[in-house]
Structure 1
């Protein structure tokens, strides 16, 4: 999900060339020298350039039409917390995503058509929960599209469903109901003054067929949406193109073919693939979902992929999944996106290197430009040297060439010759050192170059990305984030003041749809109601509806809520909610207090292996339906206590999970209501903390959010993720995810996570000198070789007072 970045290198002033030497230098070498001096990337001739590569920029070249570079807000919940940010930080994040000449300057935005079901990182609400229902203001995607359009009126908008409410086709996605459902969504877009450019009549990565695609095309034409184009199939195949030969109606219905991860899933995106049938189909071909990588670690793959999808596969559109990492940090994809924005309570955000990798293309081109095939390729004919693509503006004069040298090992000189009607005037040069973790080294304006007779030279350094352009208007946003902060206890929400249909602050749907509604059963005001009335058409494994909020560092607290069941079933309160299994939202580390309308109650423990254990249970006075009750789950150390209407139902001891979020839930189809949510701090148990290496300034991290026993720990940029939150228990264990412990053997052994057993090798002392020592061996937690880079392995080693063995706690 991420690639390791090398540590930042210092910048040195390039030495000037004395005038007598200048007069003696050959013209080509002088151009190289002066380019190096202007960029300041390396000093002098410390890394001599390889033999020059000649590139002709020919405006008369053939090439396909560029459709844009964008991102995906969807796959459930990854953008959820952004709308809860305060101003001005919320607007600043949006500027970095969408504002031209400021940040990513996205040209395409694909959003999820919510379906009340978990579609990767959570669930997004449907505009039609049941047959006959319609609310065009649910969720946050309308708001995101409006904000994107406000900043960039030219941005292209696209809608795609991952799942759908269960009433669609009575559980059959590809049905006649789907056509009307999509039309109603387009009608909602019109209410928001949004024009949708592309619609996908398919279930993301799951199913599509020709008949449904044709039916939707005909319905669009008949209902005033003839300008809305159709893209299919949003999977890993090129199957639409394969069916065109025998189905003219399908060929006529489809405008673009979208393929996922054409350069490989979680890959370096060095090589991309397509099919000859698709390339020759006469339709636009898009790499319509890529990435799934860390907001910093994805920069190098992006730099390669945006160029190489066209060079290798003639794909003219490129979309990154996902838009923004604005989800709870216990999520498996918590740092995936372009900007990290998961702390609305503090306003903290972090602009990723991925933003600037995209900006090298988006700030200097626009959909409708033309690729120049003869002016695009691999440097020196060798893909390890890097790649370049050139596009020209519709005015046939302006052009931009985007160059990446991610895998190069030495500097290279490019001799460029401009011809075919392209401008031979000055060019502007922008550069990013993708090996650097210093934001000041990304998208840096270099000295302009003035061609002589249409010719000029440029020296490019390894591990870099460049844009050479005749356009103006590029730029780099200057807004800065406040510091990080924790969501503190006590926390409460009476749910008053929310508009009906909106989600409560910080509350993230993981399955179902929890939204503001008028309270029932005689109670005035606003409550939160679970409004999904039947099992949805899923994208992941079906689970009961639940929603979560809070801080992964919360350890000892009581979660309490007033509840009212509208029909037979049960309600739940969740505590110490941690990691979730990849494709099963019901397989999560958590404690649950479940109480039914008939009075049956239980304290449950679930885990990421989809195991449910009843820890304690019994029967109390029936809650019934249409009556309000107060339910509470207290977690204090290993003691769990269940309470209804002030009466203790029972307690149980279990130390499996030490920290995590709180949540609310219901049985499937149960339209229960919740009010007066209260989360109050308790005592006992452990303390949750992040361990930051003093030498590197990076945190103790479980790579890729892995929960597999034996995973070796490493250093990584501190991001507040659940894989960086460690709970120091009363038994001196350092727990992560609530169920895994930091474990070590002898000197030089890897520091890993394993199932907690209480063994001495899993016990640690956090010392006053900031060292962390293993109780069994007495050895120190150590960053290998005093390394500072992301990905540096963590081991135990003989204590030596080095800063690489010191860890601050926060």
Structure 2
């Protein structure tokens, strides 16, 4: 979808630009055949004008697992990323942080730990959202925190898969108590994410908040659609209980966010209306949509807050939404990260405003009265002195003029102009202080170029962070974790839970030190609907190929534990996983299985060995060498299987049901390299192969599409994750990481931008960028130069190695 948005030519932008509309300077209609007149828009910044209260722009950590790897980043990189997200005058300067109330169940790209796996047993240190909220508040004490549940531990549902129970209110009050213990004031609290509403339940939640001393916390309902507003118009008690109407994707899901309507019923309530989840866009390619949505949510629907999902893509690249957010951070071992364009278009609002400011309706609208030209909103400070006007020209095709008139007591002093060129792929073009303008008699003009976000402001104190990321690199083997070294959170370093809750705790079974225990004791109230929801967690580098994964396992009760190897692609919302599984039951039944992205399991080998029983420790190992998979128990081989489906991927641990088993001494040892493979690389587009331009073998030669002809220019060698021809390596130009960065030949230097990993869907992953080798626009013309793009499983990203 990101590709479609990035390369779409707006139909509206191709129309002749309107002139003479309300709020636009008069201009004659052009004669037939003449170029359309340049659009000039009058912007009346009148401090006496009415407008709703601005509630801030924020982002979401959760729904789920999207922030997981951030806690494991080394310093100083971790602090630098956090600064880019939360520090005022540095980056996104987020004003609202919405955090998931963990429920031990998958909530998109991972599961977040509950504070109360079993009723009455509260542990306020579980999970990583407390840590993140503390880091955010340390940087911006004025940030507003907002809690929302996607799922919940099983006891909350009282035996059913529903959140709207009295137990849920008890659980939320326990969670609020944990927030208080962490000294984190919760400004807003929601119900059950995108799962409708129960009016009586919300009324009871309001009563509980007040009785527990949390009366200042405002209730948001229902984090779903506008039907909640319809219900509130006919139910006075429900209306009284709800403080804010929060709706998800009012601008459309995975859309350009060109239109962001609310409803008449919603606006009649007299309550704040929020886009309480919007976005789901790539950190770079979604910037244009974000720029539109922040402005147009107010213009179209009178929504006073825009909350982006998610805050950061700090998750592994085999996940479905691996590039969405304000920034990307998928390699805690290397410290590599990238700050997305989304950060800077957000900063164009957040660094120049504060929650509590008011919109100035007279200074807000569409340029030239036509949304194809772009939009503008003006906000003023609480003391009616400062103001900021945010303008976006995402769909404009020509330069325009904005003519400002400032009245009504607002400052008529110098204004500062900041801008982000959203059409640029050069970070130096983002969030630039362009110029200062001194108004004359409260009047001044500004030229607006297409594809920009501008902020015109009387405020000062803005800034752009200058920290830079280290280069990406693979996590090398061997690797071990005894779980005795405490990580930043209760999750061990690099492990990301997909269902259940894996946390370090004191070992049982007579073993000293720390072990990893699956803590969820029953099937949770689920948000996703995957057909297999057994708890599992994985970690590591997708480039790993031949290796052995080993662990000690302790059966607390009758159950089945598993090792995962070559963990590759995961289906959306955990609806499948390309991986190998070595499973062992306490009864002695064992198997080597293969799963796919639809959770189809294939048994590759199986048998029965002496029953391990419960209450004792045993060592499991899964060796993957080429196509041979070998399972062993306590140093004895159980059996082997041969399968060619998955050549590389991460490693993990799991239990096949919600049992509290333990693991220790997790270890990965490298195997033997796969012998080089030589021959053509064929495309998923019929008859096409990857070619070195003219078989030149020179630095900078474009890597391009060509008819498969068996020539030397198509005779590639794949070995050790590099693709070579004529002694040169396939290389991402300039170590680029943005969509559309070209691919060429270059001297082999061992750089991560010259490493390519085959994925289970046939794509080739660039290790450095986390993007896939791509034929732009499905172009089958010979000579089309290849680039990198977000991995999307398209046929233009499918390649068959020699």
- Which TM-score bucket, shorter chain as reference? 0.7 to 0.9
Q: Distance in 2 between matches of 1:674 and 1:789?
A: 39
Q: Which residue pairs with 2:413 in the alignment?
A: 425
Q: Distance in 1 between matches of 2:437 and 2:204?
A: 54
Q: How does 1:90-105 map to 2 (within 5 A)?
A: 90-105=78-93
Q: Which deviations, in whole Å up to 9, do the C-alpha atoms of 1:656-692 show, x marking residues without a partner? A: 1111110000021211100000011001447564779
Q: Which residue pairs with 1:555 in the alignment?
A: 545
Q: How far has the Cα of 1:2 moved from its partner?
A: 2.1
Q: Which deviations, in whole Å up to 9, do the C-alpha atoms of 1:192-215 show, x marking residues without a partner? A: 011000001x21111321011000
Q: Which residue pairs with 2:152 in the alignment?
A: 164
Q: Distance in 1 between matches of 2:488 and 2:588?
A: 30
Contact 2:282 2:324 in 1 (8 A): yes
Q: Which residue pairs with 1:488 in the alignment?
A: 476
Q: Distance in 2 between matches of 1:593 and 1:723?
A: 33
Q: How far has the Cα of 1:294 moved from its partner?
A: 1.1
Q: How far has the Cα of 1:142 moved from its partner?
A: 0.3
Q: How far has the Cα of 1:724 moved from its partner?
A: 11
Q: Which deviations, in whole Å up to 9, do the C-alpha atoms of 1:541-582 show, x marking residues without a partner? A: 251100000111100000000001100011000001111111
Q: Which residue pairs with 2:376 in the alignment?
A: 388
Q: Distance in 1 between matches of 2:439 and 2:579?
A: 64
Q: Which residue pairs with 2:119 in the alignment?
A: 131
Q: How does 1:66-81 map to 2 (within 5 A)?
A: 66-81=54-69
SS in 2 for 1:167: helix
Q: How far has the Cα of 1:51 moved from its partner?
A: 4.0
Pick one of 182, 200, 215 that aligns with 1:211: 200
Pick one of 382, 388, 403 that aligns with 1:400: 388
Q: Which deviations, in whole Å up to 9, do the C-alpha atoms of 1:497-524 show, x marking residues without a partner? A: 3279811000100010000011111011
The answer on 1:740 being equivalent to 2:762 is yes
Q: How far has the Cα of 1:493 moved from its partner?
A: 0.2
Q: Distance in 1 between matches of 2:722 and 2:462?
A: 38
SS in 1 for 2:192: coil
Q: Which deviations, in whole Å up to 9, do the C-alpha atoms of 1:79-108 show, x marking residues without a partner? A: 000000111111000000000110000000
Q: How does 1:25-174 map to 2 (within 5 A)?
A: 50-168=38-156, 169-171=158-160, 172-174=162-164
Pick one of 652, 655, 659 that aligns with 2:641: 652
Q: How does 1:269-280 map to 2 (within 5 A)?
A: 269-280=257-268
Inter-CA distance 89–789: structure 2 relative to 1 (3 Å threshold): closer
Inter-CA distance 782–659: structure 2 relative to 1 (3 Å threshold): farther
Q: How far has the Cα of 1:693 moved from its partner?
A: 6.4
Contact 2:569 2:597 in 1 (8 A): yes
Inter-CA distance 341–247: structure 2 relative to 1 (3 Å threshold): same
Q: How far has the Cα of 1:794 moved from its partner?
A: 13
Q: Distance in 1 between matches of 2:787 and 2:603?
A: 45
For these two proteins, the number of residue pairs brought into alignment is 701
Inter-CA distance 794–501: structure 2 relative to 1 (3 Å threshold): closer
Contact 2:89 2:464 in 1 (8 A): yes
Pick one of 567, 570, 575 that aligns with 1:577: 567
Q: How does 1:447-462 map to 2 (within 5 A)?
A: 447-462=435-450
Q: Distance in 1 between matches of 2:722 and 2:435?
A: 43
Pick one of 679, 690, 712 that aligns with 2:668: 679
Inter-CA distance 491–584: structure 2 relative to 1 (3 Å threshold): same
Contact 2:221 2:242 in 1 (8 A): yes
Contact 1:500 1:518 in 2 (8 A): no
Q: How far has the Cα of 1:182 moved from its partner?
A: 0.2
Q: Distance in 2 between matches of 1:446 and 1:158?
A: 35
Q: Which deviations, in whole Å up to 9, do the C-alpha atoms of 1:431-482 show, x marking residues without a partner? A: 1111111111111001200000010010010011100000011110111111
Q: Distance in 1 between matches of 2:720 and 2:361?
A: 55
Q: Which deviations, in whole Å up to 9, do the C-alpha atoms of 1:697-735 show, x marking residues without a partner? A: 57899x9xxxxxxxxx99699xxxx999854xxxxxxx4
The answer on 1:323 being equivalent to 2:323 is no
Contact 1:714 1:794 in 2 (8 A): no
The answer on 1:479 being equivalent to 2:467 is yes
Inter-CA distance 72–377: structure 2 relative to 1 (3 Å threshold): same
Inter-CA distance 617–785: structure 2 relative to 1 (3 Å threshold): closer
Contact 1:85 1:347 in 2 (8 A): yes
Q: Distance in 2 between matches of 1:391 and 1:109?
A: 21
Q: How far has the Cα of 1:340 moved from its partner?
A: 0.8
The answer on 1:591 being equivalent to 2:566 is no
SS in 1 for 2:362: helix
Contact 1:495 1:504 in 2 (8 A): yes
Q: How far has the Cα of 1:55 moved from its partner?
A: 1.6
Q: How does 1:593-608 map to 2 (within 5 A)?
A: 593-608=582-597
Contact 2:588 2:611 in 1 (8 A): yes
Q: Distance in 2 between matches of 1:789 and 1:211?
A: 51
Inter-CA distance 490–242: structure 2 relative to 1 (3 Å threshold): same
SS in 2 for 1:384: coil
Contact 2:119 2:155 in 1 (8 A): yes
Inter-CA distance 793–529: structure 2 relative to 1 (3 Å threshold): closer
Q: Distance in 1 between matches of 2:397 and 2:415?
A: 26
Q: How far has the Cα of 1:69 moved from its partner?
A: 0.2
Q: Which residue pairs with 1:13 in the alignment?
A: none
Contact 1:555 1:659 in 2 (8 A): yes
Q: Which deviations, in whole Å up to 9, do the C-alpha atoms of 1:713-762 show, x marking residues without a partner? A: 99699xxxx999854xxxxxxx42x25368xxxxxxxx999xxxxxxxxx
Q: Which residue pairs with 2:698 in the alignment?
A: none
Q: Distance in 1 between matches of 2:135 and 2:794?
A: 46
SS in 2 for 1:648: strand
Inter-CA distance 289–716: structure 2 relative to 1 (3 Å threshold): farther
Contact 1:638 1:654 in 2 (8 A): yes
Contact 2:741 2:788 in 1 (8 A): no
Q: How far has the Cα of 1:177 moved from its partner?
A: 0.3
SS in 1 for 2:541: coil
Q: Which residue pairs with 1:745 in the alignment?
A: none
Inter-CA distance 714–316: structure 2 relative to 1 (3 Å threshold): same
Q: Which residue pairs with 1:196 in the alignment?
A: 186
Inter-CA distance 242–688: structure 2 relative to 1 (3 Å threshold): farther
Q: Distance in 2 between matches of 1:789 and 1:370?
A: 43
Q: CA RMSD in A?
A: 3.0
Q: Which deviations, in whole Å up to 9, do the C-alpha atoms of 1:126-179 show, x marking residues without a partner? A: 000011211000111001111111110110000000000111123332111011
Contact 2:83 2:90 in 1 (8 A): yes
> Which sections of structure 2, spanning at least 5 residues, go unmatched?
8-34, 676-718, 724-728, 745-751, 765-772
Inter-CA distance 693–642: structure 2 relative to 1 (3 Å threshold): closer
SS in 1 for 2:446: strand
Contact 1:783 1:794 in 2 (8 A): no
The answer on 1:527 being equivalent to 2:549 is no
Q: Which deviations, in whole Å up to 9, do the C-alpha atoms of 1:36-74 show, x marking residues without a partner? A: xxxxxxxxxxx9981422221111111111000000000
The answer on 1:465 being equivalent to 2:453 is yes
Contact 1:501 1:516 in 2 (8 A): no
Q: Distance in 1 between matches of 2:743 and 2:297?
A: 29
Contact 1:556 1:682 in 2 (8 A): yes
Q: How does 1:319-358 map to 2 (within 5 A)?
A: 319-358=307-346
Q: Distance in 2 between matches of 1:328 and 1:423?
A: 48
The answer on 1:631 being equivalent to 2:620 is yes
Q: How far has the Cα of 1:584 moved from its partner?
A: 3.7
Q: Which deviations, in whole Å up to 9, do the C-alpha atoms of 1:389-420 show, x marking residues without a partner? A: 00100011110000000111111111111111
Contact 2:283 2:327 in 1 (8 A): yes
Contact 2:284 2:342 in 1 (8 A): yes
Q: Structure 1 segments of 4 or more deviating over 6 A?
A: 4-7, 690-693, 698-701, 713-717, 722-725, 780-783, 791-797
Q: Which residue pairs with 2:656 in the alignment?
A: 667
The answer on 1:181 being equivalent to 2:171 is yes
